[in-house]
Amino acid sequence: MIDGQKILITRKYPAAGMDLLKKEPFQLTFWEKDRPMTPAELAAQAKNHDALLCTLTDRIDQPFLARCSHLEIISQFAVGYDNIDIPEATRKKIPVGFTPDAMSEATADIAFGLMIAAARNFFFLHKTILTGEWGYFNPTGHLGFELKGKTLGILGLGRIGVKMAERCKSAYGMTIIYHNRNRNLSAEKPLDARWVSFDQLLKQSDILSVHCALTPETRHIFDAQAFKQMKPSAVFINTARGPIHHEPDLIQALNQKQIWGAGLDVTDPEPMAPDNLLLSMENVCVLPHIGSGTMEARDQMSVLAAENIIAFYKTGRVPHIVNPEVLA
């Protein structure tokens, strides 16, 4: 039953979901600043609240949970939840909600866009106009490559990976290979996709697009050893989480031409420093974590994050939950 529970809302989230919360008899606290709270601010605020609506810039780690074990629900505005210590929240019996599929199309669009942008040097060539280097049409300068018929390798063929594969198959007739811990049998047939080992994914992909969660297993899975196995003509795309690739190793692989280029929507750390070497490289395109950055996706994320809290207090259930065992 909703009866004046205090909800801490850690950022400015789209009105679509916040209006749903405002219609209920909650006591809402909105953090009005444009920056995230520091860990100390977050813990101090959360101490006086029953529930938290947070996002990937909030560190919900063991020290935070030790201070805030009274929280009744944590509702994450994102599908990725690597900022939350899920085992610890589960031990403390705190249900964690998230917002799956709200941004699958939007994020796949960014992966697809980065693939074309890196294959054709979009960002670097844009800068040559700004610096006055665009002289004449150059028959041999800054040539990219075509995507038709190439092999797309996906690490993590889940909700977003499938959308990326669909785009590449229908636009360019690409061959789809993927690596997951468990095969995605329902996606294999429509995509004509083939499961391969991680090593084979590295060796066979012309475009390698990352769509798995950041976990201890995937952290720095793209390191010097991995890049060495890739084709010198390959493009590496990461729209999942920055720490999945080891940035110094990626820079070295690009410098040594072990791979052809990279398209990144995520970096480690975020934000990336403006003087980062990757930003001056010809075949590299970097975006500031905007995979879910459409009005449609962000509205839907906001609605799902609000609904998770409302449903929890009305029914005891969380429609989109990371740790269902807490409510079992």
Task: Name the residue type at position 318.
Answer: V
**Residue 326 near residue 69 (C-beta atoms within 8 A):** no
Q: Which stretch binds ligand NAI (CB under 6 A): 8-16, 36-44, 83-91, 96-104?
A: 96-104
Assess 100 for contact with ligand NAI (CB under 6 A).
yes
Q: Map the footprint of ligand NAI across residues 259-278, applying CB under 6 A.
A: 265-266
Assess 80 for contact with ligand O=CC(=O)O (CB under 6 A).
yes
The residue assigned the tokens 């070497």 is 277
In this chain, which of 14, 97, 113, 158 binds ligand NAI, going by CB under 6 A?
Answer: 158
The residue assigned the tokens 């429509």 is 190
In sequence order, which residues have a C-beta less than 8 Å from that of residue 275 and are 6 or more positions away? none
Nearer to ligand NAI, 11 or 211 (CB): 211
Q: How far is the CB of 230 from ligand NAI (least distance, A)?
A: 16
Nearer to ligand NAI, 175 or 239 (CB): 239
Nearer to ligand NAI, 110 or 147 (CB): 110
157 binds, among ligand NAI, ligand O=CC(=O)O, none (CB under 5 to 8 A by kind): ligand NAI
Helix/strand/coil percentages in the chain, nearest 5 = 40, 15, 45
Assess 213 for contact with ligand NAI (CB under 6 A).
yes
Nearer to ligand NAI, 155 or 176 (CB): 155
In this chain, which of 9, 37, 78, 306 binds ligand O=CC(=O)O, going by CB under 6 A?
Answer: 78
Q: Name the closest residue to ligand O=CC(=O)O (Cβ).
A: 80
Q: How far is the CB of 47 from ligand O=CC(=O)O (least distance, A)?
A: 26
159 binds, among ligand NAI, ligand O=CC(=O)O, none (CB under 5 to 8 A by kind): ligand NAI
Verify whether residue 220 is a known catalytic residue: no
Verify whether residue 120 is a known catalytic residue: no
Which of 279, 155, 142, 266 is closest to 207 using CA atoms?
A: 155
Residues 93 and 73: their CA atoms lie apart, in Å, by: 9
Residues 261 and 121: their CA atoms lie apart, in Å, by: 9
In terms of C-beta distances under 8 Å and separation of at least 24 residues, what long-range contacts does 177-180 make, across chains too?
Answer: 177/151, 177/152, 177/153, 177/201, 177/204, 177/205, 178/153, 178/154, 179/153, 179/154, 179/155, 180/155, 180/156, 180/212
Residues 155 and 200: their CA atoms lie apart, in Å, by: 11
Residue 126: C-alpha distances to residues 142, 144, 285, 328 (Å) = 12, 14, 11, 54
Assess 23 for contact with ligand NAI (CB under 6 A).
no
Per annotation, catalytic residue among 11, 120, 167, 289: 289
Which of 102, 105, 196 is closest to 154 using CA atoms?
A: 196
Residues 53 and 39: their CA atoms lie apart, in Å, by: 15
Q: Which stretch binds ligand O=CC(=O)O (CB under 6 A): 10-18, 75-83, 164-172, 268-276?
A: 75-83
By rule CB under 6 A, what string of x and - marks binding of each residue 103-122 to ligand NAI?
A: xx--x---------------
100 binds, among ligand NAI, ligand O=CC(=O)O, none (CB under 5 to 8 A by kind): ligand NAI
Verify whether residue 146 is a known catalytic residue: no
Assess 160 for contact with ligand NAI (CB under 6 A).
yes
Work out the angle at residue 314's Cα, subtended by the Cα atoms of residues 313 and 315, and round it to the nearest 5 degrees. 100
Residues in contact with ligand NAI by CB under 6 A are 79-80, 100, 103-104, 107, 155-161, 179-182, 184, 211-215, 217-218, 239-241, 265-266, 289, 291-292
